[in-house]
Copies of this chain bind each other. A is one copy, B any other.
Amino acid sequence: MLSKLNVIEQCDKFPYPTKEPDLYTAQLKSFYKFHVEGCPATLGWMLESTVRIIQWPENWKIDHDDKTVILAGTSVTERSARMMEVLQAERTRESFKVLKGWRNELFPVYGPEHELLLSIERAGSPLFGIMIYGVHMNAYIVEDGKIKYWVGQRSQNKQTYPGLLDNSVGGGIATGGAPLDTMVQESVDEAAFPEELLRQSLRPVGAVTYFDVRDERAGGETGLLQPECIYVYDILLPSGVIPKPADDEAEKFHLMDVDVLQTKLSEGKFKTNCGLVIVDFLIRHGIVTPENEKDYIEILARLHRHLEFPTGRSW
């Protein structure tokens, strides 16, 4: 049985400088820092094994003393093309298992002024350890004063976490996508919610941030770093509106009362990062309270981790 804090720990795995300062510093020293030329901010952390395997073309400066990987380029287009070139070449060489999950989807990398610096193929993002962004939705109804939550069940055909439980809707934010627009589109595509209803009733309610270290369940190489931000939305559905599987994301939807939701959570039935969004939902709706949850403060801090990288915004 997982506690709520265990649920968070399954996703937020990188050591905390506030808790294990020596371990944190030691791990940090082992990583290569990913930069783009002319920008002082570190954009991601790479494993030494990754840096050693990649056959770096010109325009990349690898410094094994400083442990830096610096991508040269004067524009977003140029940097993105050079990133694509490297990843395509490694995909052809079959050097990394994560690249077998090629998505043809571009993720943004932002600088310290929230400016877009480059785009990177989604499957390649954990090799560079950059921040990635998603949107997740909690769709719920209230019956006799009690909340019931629409849980998605992931298709058995999904590349990642097949068959596990999910939030009502969720997806990644590609380059150029604003959170709200992405959330609306995903909700139409995955659950057939009416767009007009979404535009009226979707409520942005925060974000969860955490620092994952990829394990077997994520597929591909283990130990890759993945700092992540999920923008969170709530929608209180009017009566008669129910989600319907509309693409190959969710196989079906289950309406669960909060006791069942918490049981499934403690049994580890949720995709790990969806569990974080559920815990955040249960706290904001007053179901998990300071009185019934001993780790309340620790959980809140770990749902909103302060990450070491610039965070995104370019819409």
Residue A298 at the chain B interface, CB threshold 8 Å: yes
Residue A264 at the chain B interface, CB threshold 8 Å: no
Residue A65 at the chain B interface, CB threshold 8 Å: no
Q: Are B291 and A315 in contact (CB under 8 A)?
A: yes
Q: Are A313 and B296 in contact (CB under 8 A)?
A: yes
Stretch from A15-23, A45-53, A80-88, A164-172 at the B interface: A15-23
**Residues 1-54 of A at the B interface (beta carbon under 8 Å):** 16-19, 21, 24
Q: Are A209 and B297 in contact (CB under 8 A)?
A: yes
Q: Mark A275-315, 1 if CB is under 8 A from B, else 0.
A: 00000000111100111001011101111111110011101
User: In the bound complex, how far is the Cα of B289 from the Cα of A286, in angstroms?
Assistant: 22
Q: Are A286 and B205 in contact (CB under 8 A)?
A: yes
Q: Are A179 and B302 in contact (CB under 8 A)?
A: no
Task: Tell me, rounded to whole Å, the shortest Cβ–Cβ distance linking A220 to chain B.
Answer: 26
Say yes or no: A18-B308 contact (C-beta < 8 A), given A179-B291, A180-B289, A294-B114: yes
Say yes or no: A301-B209 contact (C-beta < 8 A), given A178-B291, A289-B180, A291-B315: yes
| Number of copies of this kind of chain in the complex | 2
User: In the bound complex, how far is the Cα of B205 from the Cα of A284, in angstroms?
Assistant: 4
Task: Tell me, rounded to whole Å, the shortest Cβ–Cβ distance linking A149 to chain B.
Answer: 17
Residue A206 at the chain B interface, CB threshold 8 Å: yes
Q: Are B18 and A180 in contact (CB under 8 A)?
A: no
Residue A252 at the chain B interface, CB threshold 8 Å: no
Task: Tell me, rounded to whole Å, the shortest Cβ–Cβ distance linking A245 to chain B.
Answer: 27
Task: Tell me, rounded to whole Å, the shortest Cβ–Cβ distance linking A42 to chain B.
Answer: 11
Q: Are B180 and A291 in contact (CB under 8 A)?
A: yes
* Pick from B206, B285, B301, B312: contact of A305, CB under 8 Å: B301
Residues of B within 8 A of A270 (CB): none
Residue A203 at the chain B interface, CB threshold 8 Å: yes
Residues of B within 8 A of A303 (CB): 304
Q: Are A289 and B204 in contact (CB under 8 A)?
A: yes
Task: Tell me, rounded to whole Å, the shortest Cβ–Cβ distance linking A237 to chain B.
Answer: 16
Task: Tell me, rounded to whole Å, the shortest Cβ–Cβ distance linking A183 to chain B.
Answer: 10
7 additional contacts (CB under 8 A) given A180-B291, A205-B285: A19-B308, A204-B286, A207-B290, A207-B297, A229-B297, A297-B311, A298-B311
28 contacts between A and B (CB under 8 A): A17-B17, A17-B21, A17-B24, A18-B307, A18-B308, A179-B291, A203-B286, A204-B283, A204-B290, A205-B285, A205-B286, A206-B283, A207-B290, A207-B296, A209-B300, A209-B301, A229-B297, A284-B284, A294-B313, A298-B306, A301-B304, A301-B305, A301-B306, A301-B307, A302-B306, A303-B304, A305-B306, A306-B306
Closest 10 CB pairs of A and B: A17-B17, A304-B304, A203-B286, A301-B306, A297-B311, A179-B290, A204-B289, A18-B308, A300-B304, A301-B304
